[in-house]
């Protein structure tokens, strides 16, 4: 198994280098292809700028250099740990991200935990059982998945913060400030995860070994939690990559509604302002995160699902 893990890891690492190169290249091209001059957005909408000021800003941002030099710089600079300086904020990108990473990580972890809890509870409780309760729960999940995050956030705010006054509306201050944003973000994730998990559990519960377990007199709760959940969790784990993507897009909206500092909100303002260094750094960060999560997903799958450890099948799993 160890050799297999090493092979999977090496394979992934090489793929990761290609992914990072691709992400940087696509970002570079997309930002250059987008209309508008970054100098304009740096200066803001109010005034035009004197030609001298434009030249000065353009030179300082390195925008006056030929495109291939700019491209090479965007590839090489991150290798040296230098993420550059934000055009818009006039601060080092590393400092900006460092200050915004914590709140986003808190939010993402809290939402993931909550979503997993929602999924496990509702799926194990209703899997394999028809009837009105299951239909209602499933309908609720569908609603959670399809309701716009923005609207859910405002709804929760107006009930729990403005009317009942239980929780603060904004700010990253402490656990109380984390509850509403985390719930908002967790609801759609939990909905999707619950549907996937229930599907898997439904299939598992039909397996012959479940009948065997029941025949041995195991309680229904034990059958579901101790035996079926492990099987049902495999498709959920492979959703890890999707989960990261969904979390990242979700934080953009949630951080805006709840006025939380964070990477999502930083990214939006940076894209609007054509703040190349910040956008590039966030894309790099997201790509790295994706790689790490996908690697973990593969490794965890190998641990959870013994079938994948058979020779010849690990490669499939690595794909």
Phi/psi at 174 (nearest 5 deg)?
A: 70, -175
CB-nearer residue toward another protein: 153 or 190 = 153
CA distance 99 to 287: 19
CA distances 54 to 78, 241, 307, Å, are 26, 42, 62
CA distance 287 to 21: 10
Does residue 146 belong to the site contacting another protein (CB under 8 A)? no
Among 5, 170, 239, 286, binds another protein (CB under 8 A): 170
Among 234, 256, 299, 300, binds another protein (CB under 8 A): 256
Residue 153 C-beta: closest distance to another protein, Å: 9
CB-nearer residue toward another protein: 165 or 319 = 165
Residue 253 C-beta: closest distance to another protein, Å: 11
CB-nearer residue toward another protein: 80 or 163 = 163
Does residue 49 belong to the site contacting another protein (CB under 8 A)? yes
Residue 115 C-beta: closest distance to another protein, Å: 23
CB 193 within 8 A of CB 118: yes
Among 149, 183, 255, 318, binds another protein (CB under 8 A): 255
CB-nearer residue toward another protein: 91 or 207 = 91
CA distance 287 to 265: 18
Identify residues 211-250 at the interface with another protein (CB under 8 A): none
CB-nearer residue toward another protein: 232 or 262 = 262
CA distances 9 to 151, 241, 299, 310, 319, Å, are 41, 16, 8, 17, 12
Does residue 157 belong to the site contacting another protein (CB under 8 A)? yes
Does residue 269 belong to the site contacting another protein (CB under 8 A)? yes
Closest CA to 250 of 190, 207, 307: 190
Q: Tell me the window of 54-62, 67-75, 226-234, 237-245 that interacts with another protein (CB under 8 A).
A: 54-62
Does residue 265 belong to the site contacting another protein (CB under 8 A)? yes
Identify residues 172-201 at the interface with another protein (CB under 8 A): 172
Q: 65-104 mask for another protein (x: CB under 8 A)? A: -----------------------xxxx----x--xx--x-
Among 274, 277, 283, 295, binds another protein (CB under 8 A): 274
Among 43, 218, 252, 299, binds another protein (CB under 8 A): 43
CA distance 296 to 141: 27
- Site size toward another protein (CB under 8 A) is 57
CB-nearer residue toward another protein: 124 or 251 = 251
Contact residues for another protein, defined by CB under 8 A: 34-38, 40-41, 43-53, 56-57, 60, 88-91, 96, 99-100, 103, 150-151, 154, 157-158, 161-163, 165, 168-172, 255-262, 265-266, 269, 272-274
């Amino acid at each position: 198994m160890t050799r297999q893990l090493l092979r999977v890891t090496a394979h992934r690492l090489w793929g990761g280098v290609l992914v990072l190169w691709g992400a940087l290249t696509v970002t570079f091209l997309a930002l250059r292809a987008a209309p508008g001059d970054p100098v304009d957005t740096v200066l803001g909408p109010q005034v035009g700028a004197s030609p001298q000021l434009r030249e000065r800003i353009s030179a300082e941002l390195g925008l006056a250099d030929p495109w291939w030099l700019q491209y090479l710089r965007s590839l090489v600079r991150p290798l040296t740990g230098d993420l550059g300086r934000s055009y818009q904020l006039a601060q080092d990108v590393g400092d900006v991200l460092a200050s915004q990473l914590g709140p986003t990580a808190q939010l993402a972890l809290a939402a993931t935990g909550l979503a997993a809890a929602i999924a496990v509870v509702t799926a194990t409780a209703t899997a394999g059982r028809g009837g009105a309760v299951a239909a209602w729960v499933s309908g609720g999940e569908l609603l959670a998945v399809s309701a716009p995050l923005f609207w859910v956030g405002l709804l929760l705010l107006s009930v729990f913060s403005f009317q009942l006054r239980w929780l603060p509306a904004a700010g990253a201050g402490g656990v109380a400030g984390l509850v509403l944003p985390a719930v908002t973000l967790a609801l759609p994730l939990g909905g999707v995860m619950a549907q996937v998990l229930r599907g898997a559990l439904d299939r598992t519960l039909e397996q012959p070994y479940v009948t065997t377990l029941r025949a041995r007199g195991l309680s229904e709760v034990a059958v579901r939690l101790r035996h079926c959940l492990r099987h049902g969790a495999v498709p959920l784990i492979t959703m890890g990559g999707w989960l990261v993507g969904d979390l990242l897009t979700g934080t953009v909206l949630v951080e805006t509604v709840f006025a939380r500092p964070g990477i999502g909100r930083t990214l939006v303002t940076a894209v609007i302002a054509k703040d190349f260094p910040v956008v590039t750094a966030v894309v790099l960060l997201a790509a790295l995160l994706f790689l790490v999560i996908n690697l973990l997903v593969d490794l965890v799958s190998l641990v959870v699902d013994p079938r994948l450890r058979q020779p010849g099948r690990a490669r499939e799993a690595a794909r």
